[in-house]
Structure 1
Amino acid sequence: MHKLVVLYGHPKDPEHFRRYYVETHLPLAAKLPGLKASRFAFDVAGVGADSPYFCIFEGEFANAAAMAAAMESEIGRQVHADTENYATGGLTVLHFDTEAAGPGRPGIPATAEEAFAAGLEVRRDMFGAAGAEDQIAAATDFTGPMQDLVTRYCFGEIWQRQHIDRKTRSMITMAMLVALARPNELRTHVRGAIANGASPTEIREVLLHTMIYAGVPAAVDSFRNATEVLKEMGLE
């Protein structure tokens, strides 16, 4: 697997950066040919000092040649040109090969401990510390086994599989949660979808699509909950 990392410096207008990045740039970047998965975060902290970065983006390609082809494509040129519209603090681009975890099982952790660690990282990427370490720390003897299973099997195994990227998995998950009428989980996964590169417009389309197949009442309720989350995140 070949990873692309983009580190953004602090912009002149942080609010413009956030909104433009989520609503315009990420949907464009998601069209890069050969992009297998992507994620980003605004909550970038330094160790021992303030972070010099405002935002980080990570993308995964099959290999360096696939990434190079994506960057040289028409979409790649558009993505490169679009950075001038929001990245006023400058950016640093890195790319490198990564080793697949787990012998004979590319991308799948080999042990329970590795699966738990990998799952915790996915939860942290999608939901922040409140949805990862804080929930693990708050687990009781009664809820601990559930948190362990969710972390290891749900996020450590399924969400780590390479055949569907995280953004697509977020969209599938939101659609199923609407159909199952699980508003609290939907609110959580709206945040996760944003972290995985989905735009508010794409989330809206998932909810509209689900309305037809899962029913109007369920979708109306999902719009209400998703709107509240997007407002809390400053995206609505």
Structure 2
Amino acid sequence: MASSFISFSLLFISLYTADGFRSFGLDRCVFNSTDLKDIEYIRSQYYNKVEYARFSSSVGRFVGYTESGLKQAEYWNSDASYLAQLSGDKERYCQHNIEIDYQTALDKSAEPYVRLHSVTPPGGHHPSMLVCSVFDFYPKHIKVSWLRDGQEVTSDVTSTDELADADWYYQIHSHLEYTPRSGEKISCVVEHASLKEPLITDWDPSMPESERNKIAIGASGLILGLILSLAGFIYYKRKARGRILVPSN
């Protein structure tokens, strides 16, 4: 999978109570590896919730976004030593913390597991719908696609966003509306950083899911009945051993 950008941010806030206005600066590092060339250091200046100026290590200078921000950016850009200090923060501040993040969390991953099942479509042009549910994966970024007889399906496919489970794991659900054809093969394909190769799950249409559920429920009921019958028989035998038989004339 293509690498995804991850943002690491540290927030510095300075508050001014006079007239209720707030001014603060935000320093952040945007990166997709620990290599210095893949890191961008950004310092943004805000006043009353509006960003008025920004320094980027990729640009090497401040850019103003408001009338006062243009003047302030011009003032900061006239100080070569200040610009050099900010450019050095890319290595001093960003690279140092990024290496720590990779060691503690970002290199970790959890493989997803897939459940492929059919549901009744809410409407539309097709009588059938498959849902590919992917659970318990980390990190967040993932790709879920569909194959039909080996060809990727691009129409009649909808997916949810990656949904956080509040335990560092994520889940996602992809839906495929289709009209069944005899002998076809439909597969859900999952690509994730934790997988060495795509995880492909094939749909088995040999028996509708509702029928499989009925069989599973029936089998469970049969097993439970046998267990209860055996328990009753054992109880009866134990009670019978304690009885005293009195002969009668």
Q: TM-score range by the shorter chain?
A: under 0.3
Task: Give 1 or 2: higher helix fraction.
Answer: 1
Higher RCO, 1 vs 2 (CA within 8 Å, ≥6 residues apart): 1
Structure 2 length as normaliser, TM-score?
A: 0.20
Structure 1 length as normaliser, TM-score?
A: 0.21
Task: Give 1 or 2: higher strand fraction.
Answer: 2
